Each structure stands twice: as C-alpha cells, then as structure tokens.
Structure 1
Amino acid sequence: MLKVSVLAMTLAGLCCQAAYAQDAKKTAPAKAPAAAPAVSEELFGTLKKVKDSGTITLGIRESSFPLSYLDANQKPVGYHIDVCYKIVDAVKKRLKMPDLKVAEQAVTSQNRIPLTTNGTVDLECGSTTNNADRQKQVAFAPTTYVTNVKMAVKKASGITDINQLGGKPVATTTGTTSVALMRSNEKGKGIDFKEVYGKDHADSFLMLETDRAVAFVMDDNLLLGLIASSKAPQDYAIVGSPLSVEPIAIMLRKDDPTFKAIVDITVKDLAKSGELNKLYTKWFLSPIPPKGVNLNFPMSDALKNVIAAPNDNPAESYKR
C-alpha cells in the first residue's frame, strides 16, 4: 500500500508541474520578435564602403570605343557604361539607397588595376581583358564582350600581315597585353619590330595617324571605333589574322563575394532578358556619338555563346 501511495503522489506532482507550466505559458508576456539587424551590420567590403560614403565610383575610359569613351560634352558613354549603370541600379536597390551618388573616375590601361584594388574605383567599366594573371589580383563580372586582337594600318602602307612589320615601329597602349601577344604569336616570333607606346588608345592611334608607327595593335572593336571617329576613316584598314580571342568584362575587387554576387546576377539577368542584345545593337549597330557613325559590327558567334551561357572564364579558356 505504501508503494502505491508514493507512486500516486509522484504522478500527482508531475501532473501539477505540467499544469503549472501550461499556465505559465499562457500568462507569461509574449516574447518580442528579434529585431532585424541593421543593414550596415550585414555589410562588408564594397557594399559597406559604398553605404558609408554614400557614393559608388565607376572607373571609365576616355577612348575605348564603343565600350567606354567621352562624347562631345566629355560625358562618359558606351556599352560598358550602360552595363555598369544597370549594376548601380541593383546596388541602390540592395542598399535601399535610391539617391546613391555615382562618381566617375578616369582610368588608363596602366592604372586601372591598382585603382580598383586600392578602393579608388568600385567598378571598372572599360575594356579590360579577363585573364588568369589578372584574376590573381581582381575579379571579373561575366563576360559582356569578346574581342579579336588585330592591327590597324594605313591602307597606303600596303601592310596586310604581322610578318611585314620587321624593323618598323608598332604602336600599342601602355598596360595592355598586345605586344606580348605579338611576341608569342607564331608569325610574330623572330620579327624585330620596334615597340612604341601611347598613354591611352587615342594617343596610340595618333602615332599611327602621324606616321610615328606603321601599325596599331589592339582589340578590333577599339580599332574600329577609333578609325570611325578619325579625320579620314577611309585611309585605314584592320588587317591580319587575329592574334588572340579575349573576353572583356567589368572589373571589381577580389574576395568580395556579396558584391560579386550582385554584379553576376545583374549581368546574367541582362543576358537572359535580352537587354544585353539591345545594348549591343545600340552601340555596335546604330549611330553613336559624337559623330553619329554606325560601326556596323555584327555580334560574333563567341559573344553569342557567352550571352547564352554567361561565365567569367579567363582568356586562357578560349580557343587560340
């Protein structure tokens, strides 16, 4: 009997405890939901820098036709300028800062990487080749243009190929990969040409224009734009087989996955929606400032493939 009584008392006690717990739940004040963390507490890297400063800075080129260049009013315009402003819109939305200021900083082939890595510019919106060596220093958006590296000459020179450049001055732009490509090209091996450097693409083309160089080696789209904007477009030709096929992309700082995700998603959405095709038509197949020249430069199969399946693969992954 004693054992049964003890068991009964124990069960009764447990029932009382359970009932008390239920009452406590009913009478205890509701727990306030955890406050959402402030936006700034979630941010780091470029997004934090941009939010704290209230400004996002674009690195622009002054003569990278038709990707990034200055119009008659010295305003940056071009295919990659438009792409970068689409990314800026995505950043404004992410930060809930519709009035975010946009600054534009001119960069050159020589200083574009240092100015990106040191935080001076947040997006480099020019004509930069994505290659394995540069990927050690910076990151790239999915490719938005694919170029062939070729050479522009004056028609009167009679030059049609790289093997005719022996002993002659050849222009290229400081900080680009063009001369290295010429040296490594099978046809270029053993040819003793003289390298002359322009500080930017316009300066390099001026060397060709004033006969300080017999050829200017650069991306075909840049050559085409410079020729179209020159005083006598009919005097020039783009000749020779391609020295290289290279992916061109918006550049940003490395090891910043949150910001890169915004950039990548924006570019992929532009590709998927058909907006990239529209921008290409605007800048490569329509009259463009400052002279209203139409480059009439159809989209290459290589670029069509990249738009169909966006990626940030380096130049080394492309067929040579």
Structure 2
Amino acid sequence: MGGHFQGARERPNGPRQRDGECSRGAGRNRQIHRGLCSPSQFSTPRVECTPTRETPIARRCPDAPMRVAGQPQARSTVKSTVFVVVLVFSLIATGADAQRGPDTLGKIKAAKSINVAFSGDSLPFSYVGEGNKPAGYSIDLCQRVIAGIGQAVGEANLKVNWIVGTAAERVQMVATGKADMECANTTMTQTRLKDVDFSNLIFVDGGGFLVTVDAPINRFTDLNGKKIAVIKGTTTEVRLNAAMKARLVNAQVTTINDGSEGIALLTTGAVDAFAGDKIKLIGLAAQAKDPNKFAMLMEDLSYEPYAFALPRGDAAMRLEVNRALTKVYVSGDIEGIFAQWLGKLGRPSGLLAAMYLLNAIPE
C-alpha cells in the first residue's frame, strides 16, 4: 500500500467541560483530573482546578498519559488498526488467488473434453491426414499427453476438439483460453513466454532454406539480391531479417500464409528460396508433385527448440503434460514415434538424442 493511514484526533464525547469542571458528571466537584499531577507526586504547589480558569496543559505531569473519560480516541485507534490489518490480509489473499493462475485441469474435467490447437500443414509434425484427422510426430506425442491428462482428471475418454491454426494463431488461442494446449512444431521463445508457458522440449531443429536444384545458390550469402519466401508470424521470419542485417544480405522478403504457398512460389520461380524450419521444409518438398526438384542448403539459419504451448501460470497443467512426455522418453517409446515420422531422414542427431536423454526425468 502507498503509505500509512493517519486519522485525525477525535474530540471527547459529550459536552465541553466548563471552567472548573475537571471530571465528567454532574456538579462542580473540585476533583483532580486523571492524568494531572497528584499531591503524592509533587508536594508544592498543589495543582487543583479552580472555578476561574481551566487547568493548564503545561502543568500536567511529564509521564502522565493524556486520557479522556470513555477513551473514544483509543477505540478509534483500535478500529483503525483492525481495519488496516483486515485490508492487508484481504489484499494478500487476493494476490495469492491471482498467483494460482488458471485451473485448466478443472476446466477439462468439468467439460469432459480438451481443446487442442494444431498446425494443418507442418508435415511430418502436425498436419491434416487421412479422414481429415490430425497426424504427425507432434500429434502422436500429444495423444500420449491427452491420455495422461484424462487419467489425472478421472476422465479416461476425453473428447478432443482439434482447432487448426498458424503458429501465431495457436499461441494466441492458448493465451486467451480458447485452446487448453497446442501440439505442433512451435518454437519456444522468450517473446512467446510472455503470453504462454511451454512444456519440456519435444524436438530440436534448425532454420534453413529450400531452393530448386538448378538454382545457382549454395549458401546464405548467394541470396543477395534474390527473393525469399517466409511464413508470416513465425520465428523464422524474425531470425531471417536479423540474419540478413548481420550478414549484409540485401534480399526481398515475401511473407506468405502457409507452406503450400511457399512451395508453389518456389516451383514457379516467383521466389528463389523458401525459408523455414528444415524438417518442415523437407516434409513439404516430399509432398510436392516432383520432390526431386528441390534441395536444402546445408547452412543453418537458426536453432529451433520445439515445445507444446500451455496456459501461462498453470503449474498443475504443465506438470501433467511433462509427466506424460517423460514417460515416453523413459520407456523408449520415442524411438518408435521418431522412426515412423522422421526415420527416412536417418537416426536422431546428437543434439536431439541428448535432448531426449535430458528430458527422461526420473520419478
């Protein structure tokens, strides 16, 4: 609070005492006012009330407290103190409630369903597969997490409401409560941590460039004076602009809405390169009509740690999500999931293998 409460001094209750009336009550008894010097304290002069003047305050005993019959001032002080104490504890309780954060598990239990945001075109991590159902590496991990959450809230058969969206849209869905979590290839960043929390890492990737095999482009600096496509609202967009400035590469950046648009522009020659997360670019190229038309530059643009976006400040929700992910890593089930979706690219990199090991947290 911004300071101390200072109450004004209250007057004694009742009518003002007349000259010569030193005590409360009827009559003009010549009594010594409580708090004034008594004969036992000073022998001479004896201070008594006179009918002609009020007893001077200066003649009071130095150590005698100033008290008034009925003590209205003391009661006022006690009331003020009680009010301040109650107010302080109320503010503390309110602050504690705010610090508890959202109760996502309670919301899921009450609804018997969970809302999950995902990407519709981020093969092999998250995309719309056969039967118009979500599929991919991240989706398989997410299904394990959803099962763990269902067990935690006592609802084994949670209904899953899948909501498709871009990276920026998915983060916003979680931040506003429209989605309870998101499962895709979202990069954990300090900027996004202002709005949402993240699970433990699920994958590590690097940003790169997809080009056509016949293009005279072998490294990042060869893109000087060229046109580069990048999906808007992604971390690649931010890091591409920073890298161009740092490496003095003057290229024209074209922002696009999704991966299929980038492949189309690259195929027709409207752009010279398509910037994005390497694994996603490989997945998009594999889906193209002629996958052999494309090549990936060896040079990395950035480091991309993937994680699931979660409601900010909800420790209980984050715990259950991480508990489910840990079981996948500890049991070794992650090997089968990796092989299914990323096995064609070879074994996990040393960095990815280390990530799996570091996140295999014991009970």
- Given the alignment of the two structures, is residue 138 of structure 1 paired with residue 196 of structure 2, yes or no? yes
Alignment of structure 1 residues 216-235 onto 2, 5 Å: 216-235=274-293
CA distance in 2, matches of 1:199, 1:186: 21
Paired residue for 2:334?
A: 276
Letter in 1 for 2:345: N
In 1, Cα distance between the equivalents of 2:231 and 2:244? 22
Deviation string, structure 1 residues 173-213 (Cα, Å, up to 9, x no partner): 01112133223337853211111111122222222122221
Give the CA deviation at 1:219. 0.7
Corresponding residue number in structure 1 for 2:271: 213
2:250 counterpart letter in structure 1? D
Consecutive unaligned residues of structure 2, counting only runs of 5 or more, are 1-100
Other-structure match for 1:6: none
What is the CA-CA distance between 1:63 and the residue it aligns to? Answer: 0.9
**Between Structure 1 and Structure 2, whose CA radius of gyration is higher?**
2
2:165 alignment partner in structure 1: 107
| Structure 2 Cα separation of the partners of residues 248 and 311 of structure 1 | 16
Give 1:164's match in structure 2, choosing from 222, 225, 229.
222
Tell me which residue corresponds to 1:197.
255
Q: 2: CA distance between counterparts of 1:174 and 1:126? A: 16
Structure with the greater relative contact order (CA < 8 A, sep ≥ 6): 1 or 2? 1
User: What secondary structure sits across from 1:73 in the alignment?
Assistant: helix
The aligned amino acid for 2:168 is Q
Conserved? CA contact 1:125–1:251, under 8 Å? yes
CA distance in 1, matches of 2:299, 2:242: 14
Asked if 2 retains the 8 angstrom alpha-carbon contact of 1:58 and 1:104, the reply is yes
RMSD across aligned positions (CA): 2.0
Q: How many residues in Structure 1 have an aligned counterpart in Structure 2?
A: 262
**Partner Cα separation in structure 2 for residue 94 and residue 111 of structure 1:** 28
The C-alpha deviation readout for 1:204-228, integer Å capped at 9, x for no partner, is 2222122221101111110110111
Seq. identity, %: 26
User: Residue by residue, what CA displacement relative to the aligned partner does 1:137-161 show, whole Å, maximum 9, x if unpaired?
Assistant: 1111111111011100001112111
Aligned mates of 1:143, 1:266 — CA distance in 2: 12
Q: Is the 8 A contact 1:62 1:70 kept in 2?
A: yes
Moved more, 91-100 or 226-235: 91-100
Structure 2 residue aligned with 1:152? 210
- CA displacement at 1:244 relative to structure 2: 1.3
- Amino acid paired to 2:349: S
Report Cα offsets for 1:75-104 as digits up to 9, x if no partner: 210011011111110111111112221110
1:302 aligns with 2:361: no
Tell me, which stretches of 5 or more residues in structure 1 are unaligned?
1-42, 286-294, 313-320
Contact 1:153 1:215 in 2 (8 A): yes
How far the C-alpha of 1:268 sits from its partner, in A, is 1.1
Name the SS of the counterpart of 1:111 in structure 2: helix
1:310 aligned partner, one-letter code: N
Q: In 2, are the aligned partners of 1:183 and 1:189 still within 8 Å (CA)?
A: no
User: Hey, which of these two has a bigger chunk of strand by percent?
Assistant: 1
Given candidates 38, 60, 67, the residue that maps to 2:125 is 67
TM-score with structure 2 length normalisation?
A: 0.69
Is this contact kept in 1: 2:221–2:247, CA < 8 A? no
Secondary structure of residue in 2 paired with 1:132: coil
Q: The residue matched to 2:214 in structure 1 has which SS?
A: helix
Equivalent residue for 2:135, pick from 62, 77, 80: 77
TM-score, scaled to structure 1: 0.77
Give me the whole-angstrom Cα distance separating, in 2, the residues matched to 1:69 and 1:139.
Answer: 23
Residue matched to 1:25? none
Partner of 2:115: 57
Match of 2:296 in 1: 238
Kept after mapping to 2: 8 A contact 1:68/1:76: yes
Cα offset for 1:311? 8.7
Paired residue secondary structure (2:334): helix
**Whole-angstrom CA distance in 2 between matches of 1:44 and 1:174:** 30
Distance 1:271 1:230 in 2: 32
Does the 8 Å contact 2:102/2:313 carry over to 1? no
